[in-house]
Amino acid sequence: MPPRTLIALTRAVSPSIANCELSFIDRQPIDFSLACRQHHDYEQLLTSLDVEVVSLPPEPNLPDSMFVEDAAIVLDELAIIFPLGVESRRREAELMAKAIARFRGVEFVTLPGVVEGGDLLRIGRTIYAGLSARTNRDGVRQLRAIVSRFGYEVICVSMTGCLHLKTAVTSLGNNTLLANREWFDASAFSGYRWIDVDRAEPHGGNSLLVNGSVIYPTSFPRTLRRLEADGFRVLPIDISELQKAEAGLTCSSLIFEWDGTSP
């Protein structure tokens, strides 16, 4: 088999990010220059972990377009492109389909189904799909029909109180989940070990596992210390300006393996 490279698709911060969609936090002024520096630091950290970062150009008219994860899920066999849950973001899907076509064949979920990748937590060949304001049952039904051909199981997860499922729960590897279990139906996840966020840091459930290291926001120091105490190699990063746009760590990249061949 040809060697496989770990790819991270990212997109530069839009100059219009201050006009981003917000659902669960209040709007604050965003320092565009600082947001760009923090996003660059994020890309550099991925590069330091032996990830090949493919950085796409900014989209001035699409304020949320740096959140590339929401437009697609990339599996080993193919990528699925989504109509996002708010109309203002739907052009992002077309752009992402073009970017991903270099690496994977693509299929599409179509309206009235809607899905955002932030609601999809993939662990092995199981995809947990959060039912939210951005992801509906028809979208999940279409996703299931596509991925079941390749042996994936899709499990619906009821949730409330946050934007996406991965706002509340992410995988740390080793059968362990980091979570705010008040925001979703944890009974959908059986057989996992839990690390709960500190109660003072309810948004601390979003982490990014890359090549054995856990990238984690400095905004949640108490939960960060819990991860370190549990033996995880934690790499702190400041994304405080991006968090004003309701950003998490997972939403700013699409990470997948590539064997160097065209689909």
Strands 153-158 and 106-108: unpaired
> How many Å from the N-terminal Cα to the C-terminal Cα in the chain?
15
- Residue 124, sorted as left (phi over 0), alpha (psi -120 to 50) or beta, turns out to be left
Write the Ramachandran bin of 211: left for phi over 0, alpha for psi from -120 to 50, otherwise beta. left
Query: Which residues participate in catalysis according to the annotation?
Result: 164, 251
Asked if 68 and 56 touch (Cβ cutoff 8 Å), the reply is: yes
Which residue has 């799909």 as its token pair? 129
Bridge partners (DSSP) of residue 54 are 9
CB atoms within 10 A of CB 82: 30
Residues 246 and 243: their CA atoms lie apart, in Å, by 5
Rg over alpha carbons for the chain, rounded to the nearest Å, is 17
- Among 157, 163, 27, 153, CA closest to 84: 163
Helices (H), 114-220: 137-147, 165-168
Nearest CA to 253 out of 53, 71, 8 is that of 8
CA distance 13 to 239: 12
